[in-house]
Structure 1
């Protein structure tokens, strides 16, 4: 078995973690001691910080990214996650737990305990709309669990992904009202985006942009674990009376799927049988483990996804390597988490740490139908063929690719359910594994819980476990009701009736409603790999009895129209109550049309940038469009000066103006493909001050880009289409992980003025 192979390769330390933590270590625990109640003080005027109730546990909240129910070994999947397994063995597995089907909304529900539309997160922040349920701004009336715990005396920290700050607030000057520090977290170390490169992430520490070490061995998940271990150790030393609340949100397994080469090598040959066979194997393991009912039926493959045996030889080779990389990424992340757990055990803190591990913010992704080796191409709606990707076969997972596996693998990792990420009408997009571990409190370890629950129930569970009551007012703002219910009642009673009898779901027009075991959901107009503008109000409805049909395989709409109509009415009532309306399925249109939401910059005007270490987000840098003009003022020290003047993007798509031995060179390379790459070369400049101008012109394709030096045209070329470059921008400095000179410009860059 794969797990045995990995054990021989050096993971024995993690494999045995579950047995190690079973040892009761009185001496270690006594040395650390549980958090204590506030000590009496002789101070009369100094403000006193609150302390949580006596014995309140540490809280470790973990949420991975795009990890389907059937991905991890903890829930029968093919990817070994021994740390996750150990936590489940020392805690409880929940096999009927649900997300919102997409990233930002799931995280908003997790952090606030409210339904995602109720806190403005009806969809990811990048496609927000000017409607109450879709503005991507968590209101002050919905304080996060981080804020509530911090005010109650916890030390709080957030590591990894933040996708809950509105795009237009990610400029260098904020505003910072919705950054992690303002959401109740004393410390933040991670990235403010949907995704980031594991090898060269766009990192932020609190409010400050920082650059990761430029070393071959750097990997973000290891960096996050290092930072987390250090923070926990310092926190424990500073005041052992105070428990901590640490939130770990790695980008794994969201694209780009990357992993260290030696970890990828461990999975060679493990997925050669293909996704159809893999899904059957996962299903069999799930039944053997008891994480799905014995009478569950495996849902069929969607008609659009090809049978594995129908693929060509090159397709299979390419797709196998992509899956090997994704598996290595998740297993490597689990290893890094193991270091955090082991550190808690060694410091005597593990037994009184409540760990909640949510296996994914949604189901596994089906968004790239044929897979991709440069995700930047997807943003320009340019998908390479298998033949175009094959030269990158041996680079997949390295810093030279930023890809994702094809939809077939995502479907397999959502076993046994239909569909996946984005589809809120079917369980493949919504149902994910949850493990809760708390050695001091949970006694029936290694068992399964099947009560129906949702991400909004995590915060209330934490509140009950800590003995903290959320305040009615925060900063003078009355708090809106918490929609979730606590799951603490399940800790001691596996057969307790569920406290969540009803729940609505909606994402991009796909919607569902759960009530007492029954499920009504709409039929998707298309798979997530297709961009649709279909009218959600025309989607037909399906009906399932999840009491007897765990994997949602038997549509009963025709046999029980009365029950279907009842659940449809219930959905309509919830949609009105939680601001779900109006419905929209147009993901691509909303993503492209930036006029639908505020921006860091006005839609047109003149913008002046100065050299320095400031990192400008993609929203704080004017995108290429007809009429886009930049004027860079530079002062050459010699006729051989080298270095960057400005640039945006990275190795998977960029534009840059540089000096090469005194010669200005402009490169427009938005997709890192030769077909879109344009290079303009100037003539060597004399020492002294010069103005270098870049202008994009034309009312329709082909467009033209022209380089001017001191007002004189020196080079001009056609551009087939104008594509927005993704990624951050610098002036007078090298981009993150971009093929530019490694040092600041030897010239003096005075300013770059962009007119759009």
Structure 2
């Protein structure tokens, strides 16, 4: 036999031997893999069943497996509305018609004892993980994160989001809208992106990062990339974020079902509505003109009667009285009533538009034949209606947060601008209280139902047969994930991506689908936020509201925790927490107080912390800019506010190194903030201009008098702050090639630590809403910016000033 043929046969025998050994090994691995339950994700790679020969002619390939969901698994649509209470939307007795949610309720169930955490980030972390908010590291918003395990602002990998579990079980997944669960220091392009949606189980993300968004010019992301909202031709001035989010969701439904109609979808739809600013096209506001002239006291009484008639509150429910801290509507002046009514009309228009967009998504599911096999959750609020709009309401909520008083006469003159791109409006505390009917208090107050009891609608036509039914079992936002998993037929995972999982702390609600009278499975639940706390147990609830009122900015708890007075409610006969029976049942109160401490220790609630200024101190959290005073940026840079050079309450310089083409240049060199507050350095008519927008009520312009010459130019802004203190005035000088070309005076400046919740510091454009009324965004610079240097020396603030600014920053963040 020739040597070459001998070698060939020898190699062949060797390969065959290896193949046999490999087959035996894979068989053994296969047995192991089959024994591993699907509670471990991702599932182990299955052993190959391919038969391997020397060539493809004597080989047989294996079939490549495609992950598949359990047979018959439904699509899941999870809708979460922001900042709206029990008595706002018509489906639960509010005055605002909501036909799309009515449609869901008629083919599903209304849950009347469903609860949230009283604030957005904590509720959303609990919703998506199935764990209590402190267990998921979200005891407060990310901007207040500290090193205590329950308050880091970082959802740990040990509490995987439901999207990751569904994706690894054969689902397509998508997130549209608000994401206020990215740690504040991880929101810049530097990342990391571990806690962004596409690394938490979502195939698609289209939305904004932070507590709120300008509906007219949102800070949008597609996956991890910052983008501008594209307004369809012909819809200019009539197209907002609500429209864009629904467009994207509808588009995905049509496209995904065109390719894989049998592959289930999980869509998390979380629009910025109803969070301030209450931005909405005027046509929606005008639908409600004059409909709220009765005021909030009368509205609350009318809503209570509608709720009784609808049966969404028990017949023996008592309407809780208005707190003394909230003014009677009749105590307002005529002009104050005009402003308050218009602000409520904008809120109502915003709600009606949101409901309409929900209807478009339902229509898309219906048209693709998917509606009946879609499990739909519609949470009307992640907390109660927001009481952060001041007692009289605000044309610009950033001014309200900053403690800048608004003149009623000025608001009356700008009444028609409310809801539009020039406003940043929020309704008064009284309207928030009214839209939380029949309960006490509102957002932030985790001790009382006005802050934590939100309407829930669940629909699944193929499965829920009691269409139009009402359910009274006590449940919590952490119960949504186990409900989804049971409905889909997927077990709770114990290991996800190599990380052992905390046990899911929610309980499934599927048992209630078929039996309205079924005994509730949630017997115990704690509540805590900013020191406000409560404990529900077997039909009783102990509650304590701690310290600061929700609309008071810049202040923490007004007393020590040991000074708090607990209340007790027998919820078996007192649906609205009307009667405090603590004096009558002291032993029961003590039992629930002790149970609270047990739960607090179990779920990382401790230590109780009502501090405000201290927790807003950036030193409490990682920072990308800690210790730096000089920042160099380049054209196209878009920096998250939390990572941008600090320029408030301090002197600073901005130096731009520009190349001007022969024909001249126009556009924005640098800008931060937007239409509600900010500053911009731009070139207009070849002249350099610095403009400071003070809460949209005053624009100070410093302009050079000579055009910029072609070639290299150095434009410098010297911002000389008046000195120690917050919000003081400043002198602004403008230089071109070291020659002073202009000077101006600011009598006051913004003193809260951020210019915006979702706008960025931009170099070469103004990417969000425009700081200046002299141009339209983005107004990109047509020359070349070689670099831009910001020299931001440390602010000279007294300890008292530092406490005030941190407290105001916290108030701004809480309002998100």
TM-score by length of 1: 0.91
1:492 corresponds to which residue?
A: 514
1:559 corresponds to which residue?
A: 584
Out of 718, 728, 731, the residue aligned to residue 760 of structure 2 is 728
1:648 corresponds to which residue?
A: 672
Out of 383, 389, 409, the residue aligned to residue 387 of structure 1 is 409
Out of 655, 670, 674, the residue aligned to residue 631 of structure 1 is 655
The reply on whether 1:186 has 2:203 as its aligned counterpart is: yes
For the residue of structure 2 that corresponds to 1:201, the secondary structure is: coil
Out of 171-180 and 745-754, give the one that drifted further: 745-754
Distance across 1 between alignment mates of 2:192 and 2:83: 29
Going from structure 1 to structure 2, the CA distance change for 1:587 and 1:371 (only over 3 Å counts) comes to farther
The reply on whether 1:88 has 2:105 as its aligned counterpart is: yes
Distance across 2 between alignment mates of 1:521 and 1:86: 35
Distance across 1 between alignment mates of 2:691 and 2:786: 21
2:733 corresponds to which residue?
A: 706
The answer as to whether partners of 2:174 and 2:204 remain within 8 angstroms in 1 is: yes
Distance across 2 between alignment mates of 1:314 and 1:131: 47
1:662 corresponds to which residue?
A: 686
1:294 corresponds to which residue?
A: 315
Going from structure 1 to structure 2, the CA distance change for 1:609 and 1:499 (only over 3 Å counts) comes to same
1:744 corresponds to which residue?
A: 780
2:189 corresponds to which residue?
A: 172
State the Cα RMSD in Å: 2.0
Distance across 2 between alignment mates of 1:752 and 1:48: 53
- Unaligned 5+ segments in structure 1 are 1-37
The answer as to whether partners of 1:648 and 1:735 remain within 8 angstroms in 2 is: no
The reply on whether 1:599 has 2:623 as its aligned counterpart is: yes
The answer as to whether partners of 1:695 and 1:707 remain within 8 angstroms in 2 is: yes
Distance across 2 between alignment mates of 1:54 and 1:382: 58
The answer as to whether partners of 1:94 and 1:450 remain within 8 angstroms in 2 is: yes
Out of 516-525 and 474-483, give the one that drifted further: 516-525
Out of 312, 327, 342, the residue aligned to residue 348 of structure 2 is 327
The reply on whether 1:350 has 2:410 as its aligned counterpart is: no
Distance across 1 between alignment mates of 2:305 and 2:784: 65
Instruction: Quote how far apart the aligned CAs of 1:545 are.
Output: 0.7
Distance across 1 between alignment mates of 2:580 and 2:705: 66
The reply on whether 1:691 has 2:714 as its aligned counterpart is: yes
Instruction: Quote how far apart the aligned CAs of 1:149 are.
Output: 0.3
Going from structure 1 to structure 2, the CA distance change for 1:169 and 1:82 (only over 3 Å counts) comes to same
The answer as to whether partners of 1:639 and 1:662 remain within 8 angstroms in 2 is: no
For the residue of structure 2 that corresponds to 1:231, the secondary structure is: helix
Out of 53, 61, 77, the residue aligned to residue 60 of structure 1 is 77
Instruction: Quote how far apart the aligned CAs of 1:52 are.
Output: 1.3
Distance across 2 between alignment mates of 1:63 and 1:446: 20
2:572 corresponds to which residue?
A: 547
The answer as to whether partners of 1:536 and 1:584 remain within 8 angstroms in 2 is: no
Instruction: Quote how far apart the aligned CAs of 1:253 are.
Output: 0.8
Out of 595, 599, 614, the residue aligned to residue 570 of structure 1 is 595
Deviations 1:350-390 (A, max 9, x none): 11100011110000011112211112213423231322322
The reply on whether 1:202 has 2:219 as its aligned counterpart is: yes
Deviations 1:484-508 (A, max 9, x none): 0000000111111111100000111
Deviations 1:454-495 (A, max 9, x none): 000000000000001122111111001111000000011111
Distance across 1 between alignment mates of 2:692 and 2:269: 37
For the residue of structure 1 that corresponds to 2:639, the secondary structure is: coil
Instruction: Quote how far apart the aligned CAs of 1:216 are.
Output: 1.5
Distance across 2 between alignment mates of 1:159 and 1:523: 34
1:29 corresponds to which residue?
A: none
Instruction: Quote how far apart the aligned CAs of 1:716 are.
Output: 4.0
Instruction: Quote how far apart the aligned CAs of 1:41 are.
Output: 10
Instruction: Quote how far apart the aligned CAs of 1:514 are.
Output: 0.4
- Unaligned 5+ segments in structure 2 are 1-45, 51-59, 793-816
Deviations 1:325-366 (A, max 9, x none): 111111111111111111211221111100011110000011
1:10 corresponds to which residue?
A: none
Instruction: Quote how far apart the aligned CAs of 1:748 are.
Output: 1.6
TM-score by length of 2: 0.85
Matches within 5 A, 1:162-561: 162-213=179-230, 215-369=236-390, 370-531=392-553, 532-534=555-557, 535=559, 537=561, 538-561=563-586
Bigger Rg, structure 1 or 2: 2
1:116 corresponds to which residue?
A: 133
Deviations 1:197-226 (A, max 9, x none): 111111111111111135222111111111
Distance across 2 between alignment mates of 1:259 and 1:440: 35
Deviations 1:79-120 (A, max 9, x none): 111110111111110000000000000000000000001111
For the residue of structure 2 that corresponds to 1:616, the secondary structure is: strand
Going from structure 1 to structure 2, the CA distance change for 1:627 and 1:603 (only over 3 Å counts) comes to farther
Instruction: Quote how far apart the aligned CAs of 1:63 are.
Output: 0.4
Going from structure 1 to structure 2, the CA distance change for 1:44 and 1:242 (only over 3 Å counts) comes to farther
The answer as to whether partners of 1:638 and 1:662 remain within 8 angstroms in 2 is: no
Distance across 1 between alignment mates of 2:626 and 2:731: 24
Out of 530-539 and 385-394, give the one that drifted further: 530-539
The answer as to whether partners of 2:540 and 2:571 remain within 8 angstroms in 1 is: yes
Distance across 2 between alignment mates of 1:524 and 1:417: 17
Instruction: Quote how far apart the aligned CAs of 1:706 are.
Output: 3.1
Deviations 1:274-299 (A, max 9, x none): 11111001101111111101000000
Out of 312-321 and 681-690, give the one that drifted further: 681-690
Out of 616, 621, 631, the residue aligned to residue 639 of structure 2 is 616
Distance across 2 between alignment mates of 1:348 and 1:342: 10
Distance across 2 between alignment mates of 1:677 and 1:541: 51
Going from structure 1 to structure 2, the CA distance change for 1:503 and 1:688 (only over 3 Å counts) comes to same
Going from structure 1 to structure 2, the CA distance change for 1:683 and 1:184 (only over 3 Å counts) comes to same
Out of 625-634 and 55-64, give the one that drifted further: 625-634
The answer as to whether partners of 1:639 and 1:686 remain within 8 angstroms in 2 is: no
Instruction: Quote how far apart the aligned CAs of 1:45 are.
Output: 5.7
Out of 530-539 and 470-479, give the one that drifted further: 530-539
Deviations 1:553-608 (A, max 9, x none): 111112211111111111111111111122233446644x3222222322423222
